[in-house]
Amino acid sequence: MTDPPRVLILGGGFGGVGAARKLAKADADIVLVDSHDYHTFQPMLYQVATDLLSDDEVAHPLRDLFHDQPNVAVHEATATSLDLDARVVEFDDMAPIEFDYLVLALGAQVNFFGVEGAADHAFPMYTLADAVRLKEHVLGRWEAADRDPALVADGALSIVVVGGGPTGVESVGALSELYRSDFSKDYPSLPIDRASLTLVEAGPVLFSMFEPELQAYASETLSGYGVELLLDEVVAAVSPSRVTLKSGRELKAHTLVWGAGLQASPLAATADVDLERGGRIPVGPELATLEHPDVYAVGDIAWITDSDTGEALPQLGSVALQSGERAGENIARRIAGQAQEAFSYHDKGTMATIGPGAAVIQFPRGRTMKGRTASLAWGAVHLALLSTGEDRTKAMLNWAWAGFTHERSSRIVIDLEDE
């Protein structure tokens, strides 16, 4: 063990940042490495994709988050392999780093489940780059149709969203608002009624994790926005202009948004541990991996069982933050010669938004909330979760502007290659 011990944290999402913050007072050198120089607030990515917020309002410089924590060094590099026995991690463009304690907080990434053409033509919604790419593609299709209206009949303005969970529902709801509030005015010569929005879900209901009352509310709300709901349907193939369903139906759409599945970071597979469903790393009650007591896994990459129910906890920001904090605290306790404490998830409720003034919340003992009150609560909770007061102020200003004027400020594309 080095003196002071080195704690290597891989990933600067909710889990990694939570762990690093809880080590603020520890006598340790903390090294936090992320492939980006920013922390992404994933729950609001759909607002970037639909021009409500700009990219720097949902991402925050990682270095800035640790100005007041001198025991943390931040590096931008991509981890490429883990050797847990030798206690060393390799990176793509940086010398290997040895560790005394390791926190794996690398999150999850999109899973296309091998659907033909999806990796090349679908637009996932899991990273900041994904959100910006989708925004620019949709704007590009409207501009293309403006130049050549014949493209409308080919589905240039139509979007298929896959996945009836929160990511898919939030995305299609926000896209419908963008179409109705902004594009109808931006492109008065284009027939907005022929710009179809379709949500495809493999199961029989939307929001399968919520109570039936909230599922019905989500379906009614989206139908009210004019979104076509295709339940019990599965996407079989994707091309740049067509989406083919397993039932044989073909949809003309130049955009397919993928909100249908996640898998743990592929780095988990290099860890030489037995993985659980979705490639997640199983951990014990203190969040250390079963084979390596000095290696912790938190957030989306980890398979954490609920201490009350024995079920695996969902891949949520609140689970990632709380588990990251517990892992950080446990490492700090070990360094101080104290006993570790078991992780216990404090479930404050699960929420999702559908559109303006429409959201759902399910509280732990079955109580539910929906509509405008739930939407206000969603806004308050998500504002509070943003990294800094500056981010919160910027987001509030943009929401207020969009709420009063029904206009969004960031619907432009800057093509750096053309300049």
Ligand X SMILES: Cc1cc2nc3c(=O)[nH]c(=O)nc-3n(C[C@H](O)[C@H](O)[C@H](O)COP(=O)(O)OP(=O)(O)OC[C@H]3O[C@@H](n4cnc5c(N)ncnc54)[C@H](O)[C@@H]3O)c2cc1C
Q: Which is nearer to ligand X, 50 or 198 (CB)?
A: 50
With H, G, I as helix, E, B as strand and everything else as coil, classify residue 107.
coil
- How far, in Å, CA of 401 to CA of 398, rounded? 5
- Residue 265 touches ligand X, criterion: CB under 6 A: yes
Taking residue 203's Cβ as centre, other Cβ atoms within 10 Å add up to 12
Q: Name, in order, each residue with C-beta under 8 angstroms of 70's C-beta and a sequence gap of 6 or more.
A: none
Q: Which is nearer to ligand X, 79 or 190 (CB)?
A: 79
- How, if at all, do strands 295-297 and 302-303 pair? unpaired
Task: Note whether 78 and 59 are within 8 A (CB).
Answer: no
- Residue 168 touches ligand X, criterion: CB under 6 A: no
Task: Note whether 354 and 164 are within 8 A (CB).
Answer: no
Q: Which is nearer to ligand X, 111 or 158 (CB)?
A: 111
Q: Which is nearer to ligand X, 190 or 327 (CB)?
A: 327
What is the DSSP annotation of 311-357? Answer: SBPPS-HHHHHHHHHHHHHHHHHHHTT------------EEEEEETT
- How far, in Å, CA of 178 to CA of 175, rounded? 5
**Which CB contacts under 8 angstroms, 24+ apart, belong to 206-209?**
206/164, 206/169, 206/231, 207/164, 207/165, 207/166, 207/169, 207/352, 207/360, 208/164, 208/165, 209/165, 209/314, 209/350, 209/362
Listed residue (372, 368, 343, 334) closest to 355, CA to CA: 372
Taking residue 271's Cβ as centre, other Cβ atoms within 10 Å add up to 22
Selected binder of ligand X within 24, 229, 237, 316 (CB under 6 A) = 316
Query: Per-residue x/- mask for ligand X, residues 30 to 69, rule CB under 6 A?
Result: ---xxxx---x-xx-xx-----------------------
Least distance (Å) between residue 66 CB and ligand X: 14
- Residue 174 touches ligand X, criterion: CB under 6 A: no
Query: Per-residue x/- mask for ligand X, residues 202 to 241, rule CB under 6 A?
Result: ----------------------------------------
Least distance (Å) between residue 315 CB and ligand X: 5
- Residue 201 touches ligand X, criterion: CB under 6 A: no
Q: Which residues in 84-113 contact ligand X (CB under 6 A)?
A: 105-107
Least distance (Å) between residue 258 CB and ligand X: 11
Task: Note whether 155 and 252 are within 8 A (CB).
Answer: yes
Looking at 179-187, 239-247, 282-290, 312-320, which segment touches ligand X (CB under 6 A)? 312-320
Q: Which residues in 378-417 contact ligand X (CB under 6 A)?
A: none
Q: Which is nearer to ligand X, 100 or 130 (CB)?
A: 130
Q: Which is nearer to ligand X, 69 or 184 (CB)?
A: 69
- Residue 315 touches ligand X, criterion: CB under 6 A: yes
Q: Which residues in 124-153 contact ligand X (CB under 6 A)?
A: 125-126
- Residue 318 touches ligand X, criterion: CB under 6 A: yes
Tell me the helix, strand and coil percentages in the chain, rounded to 5.
Answer: 35, 25, 40
- Residue 317 touches ligand X, criterion: CB under 6 A: yes
Q: Which is nearer to ligand X, 14 or 343 (CB)?
A: 14
Selected binder of ligand X within 47, 54, 111, 167 (CB under 6 A) = 167
Least distance (Å) between residue 400 CB and ligand X: 20
Q: Which is nearer to ligand X, 190 or 395 (CB)?
A: 395
Number of residues that bind ligand X (CB under 6 A): 34
Token pair of 320 as six digits = 């990632």
- Residue 275 touches ligand X, criterion: CB under 6 A: no
Q: Which is nearer to ligand X, 40 or 375 (CB)?
A: 40
- Residue 166 touches ligand X, criterion: CB under 6 A: yes
- Residue 269 touches ligand X, criterion: CB under 6 A: no
Q: Which is nearer to ligand X, 102 or 190 (CB)?
A: 102
- How far, in Å, CA of 51 to CA of 398, rounded? 10
Q: Which residues in 8-27 contact ligand X (CB under 6 A)?
A: 10-16
Q: Which is nearer to ligand X, 42 or 198 (CB)?
A: 42
Residues, the chain: 419
What is the DSSP annotation of 245-307? Answer: ETTS-EEE-SEEEE-S-EEE-GGGGGG-S---GGGPEEB-TTSBBSS-TTEEE-GGGEE-B-T
The torsion angles phi and psi of 206, rounded to 5 degrees, stand at: -85, 160
- Residue 325 touches ligand X, criterion: CB under 6 A: no
Quick one: how far is CA 74 from the chain centroid?
A: 22
Site residues for ligand X per CB under 6 A:
10-16, 33-36, 40, 42-43, 45-46, 78-79, 105-107, 125-126, 166-167, 265, 267, 299-300, 315-318, 320
